[in-house]
Amino acid sequence: MAKSSYSNPLGMVDILPDQTPSWRALEQIIHEEAAKFNFQEIRTPILEPTELIKRGVGQLTDIVTKEIFAFQKGDTHYVLRPELTAPVVRSFVQHHLDQRGGIQKLYYIGPMFRAERPQKGRQRQFHQFGLEIIGSADPVADIETITFMMGIYQRIGIKNFTLKLNSVGDPESRERYKHILRKYLEPHRSKLSELSQQRFDKNPMRILDSKELEDQEFIENAPIIQDCLNEDSVIHFEKVKRGLQLLNIPFLIDPYLVRGMDYYTRTAFELSSSDLGSQNALAGGGRYDLLVEEIGGKPTPAVGFAAGMERLLIVCEKLNISLTEKSVLDIYIVSLGEEARNWALSYLLELRSHGLSASMDYTGRSMKAQMKEANREHTCFTLIVGENELSNRAFILRDMNKSEEITISAKEVISTVLSHKSGQK
C-alpha cells in the first residue's frame, strides 16, 4: 500500500478525537455563559469579500498587509476571514438587524485564518469565541463585554492574567494625537522599520503596534494619547474604569495599547496570561463606534471582544485543568455468532432509545478480543450474547467496575444499566 504523503497545511491542525471532548466542553461553557448574559449566537461564512476586510480591519494593518489568505474566483475577490468583527457588522448592516429592535448582543464561535508564522499559540487556522454588542455607546456595554470575557476564564479556573486597558479616543482626539506623534517621530523617521515608515503619514498610531525591534525604543518614549483625549472620551474612559473597579476587576492602563485593527475608538483592552509563551494574548477587544457606518450602515456605536480558544486550552493544559469528565460507554455487547450479532444490532437501537450509549464489535472477533475491546472503551457494563443466551432469553451482564456477573432478561438489562447511570449522577 502506498504511504500517505499528505499532511495538514502548515499552521492548520487537526483536532483529534482525544482533544474534541475539551473543545466541546469549552463550547458548552461559552454557550451557557452567553445565555446567562442574554447574548444570541450568530454564524457567518468562512469567506468574506476582500474589500470588506480591507476596509473594516484597515489597509495598513498587519492582518491586511501580511496575513490574509486571499483568492479570486471569477471576478470576485475573497478572503478567509481573519476575524469576525467586520463580518458580523457586515451581516448586521445587510440584514438590517437594527430593525429587530434594541441592542444587538451577538456572540460567535468559529475558525479564523491568518497567514502568520506558526509557533506555539499561533496558528494559521485558529478558533475564536467572541461577542459584539451593537447599538450602545454606554460604558455599561464596555463593562459587560469585559465581564463576560473574564467570566469565562474565571469559571474555568484560569486566574493568572493581566487585563490591559486604554482609550484610543474618538476621531477628534486621535487627529490631535496623530499630529503630536508624527512630530515626535519625525526626527527618527529614517531609523524606523520599513513598515513603520510606510505607516508614518497615513496611520502613525499603527507604529505603536509594531513588533519590529528597531521601532521599540521610539515606542517606549512616545507621547501618550491620554494627553490628547477630548472631554467626552475622558468621561467615557473614566466610567469604564470606575465600573471595572466596582466589579473588582483589576486592570492596568497601557497608554500604548492600540490593538491590531484600525476600527477601534475609545476603549481598547487586552487580556494576557503569563502561562502562555511569547504569544501571550488570551483575548482582546474594544469599542468601534464608526465601523457600522464605514461598512454602509447608519451611525451605530458598538463594542466587543474575541478570545483565542487554542490559547485558552494551552493554559488549561499547563495548569492541569480538565474541562471534561472522562467519557464512558454505558454498555458494550459481546456477541458470538451470526444470529447473536443480528440480535445485538437491533438491541443496540433499543438501548440507545432509552438514552444509553451502546456499542458492539464490528469485526466478528473472538470473545477474548471483544472483552479486550470493551475494556478499552471503558464501558460500565458488558452484555454477553451467544446462541444459548438467545434461545434461553437470559443474558450475562457483567459489571466491569465490580467484576461481577448476573444472568438477566433483556428488559432487566435496560433497567439495571439505567438505574446504575442515574445513581452515578
List residues binding ligand HAM (CB under 6 A). Answer: 83-85, 114, 116, 121-123, 126, 128, 130, 132, 260, 281-286, 288, 304-308, 310-311
Q: Which is nearer to ligand HAM, 84 or 414 (CB)?
A: 84
Q: Which residue is nearest to ligand HAM (CB)?
A: 308
* CB nearer ligand HAM, residue 58 or residue 304: 304
Q: Which is nearer to ligand HAM, 126 or 381 (CB)?
A: 126
Smallest distance, Å, CB 305 to ligand HAM? 5
Nearer to ligand HAM, 60 or 396 (CB): 60
Residue 311 CB, nearest approach to ligand HAM (Å): 4
**In terms of CB distance, is 116 or 377 closer to ligand HAM?**
116
Rounded least distance, CB 66 to ligand HAM, Å: 12
CB of 376 to ligand HAM, least distance (A): 34
The minimum distance between CB 378 and ligand HAM, in angstroms, equals 32
Question: Cell 464608526 belongs to which residue?
Answer: 290
CA dist 25 and 31 (Å) reads: 10
Backbone angles phi, psi at 39, to 5 degrees: -95, 150
Looking at the Cβ atoms of 148 and 218, the one nearer to ligand HAM is: 148
Work out how close the CB of 78 gets to ligand HAM at its nearest, in angstroms, rounded to a whole number. 19
Pick the closer one to ligand HAM by CB: 302 or 356. Answer: 302
Residue 228: CB minimum distance to ligand HAM, A: 22
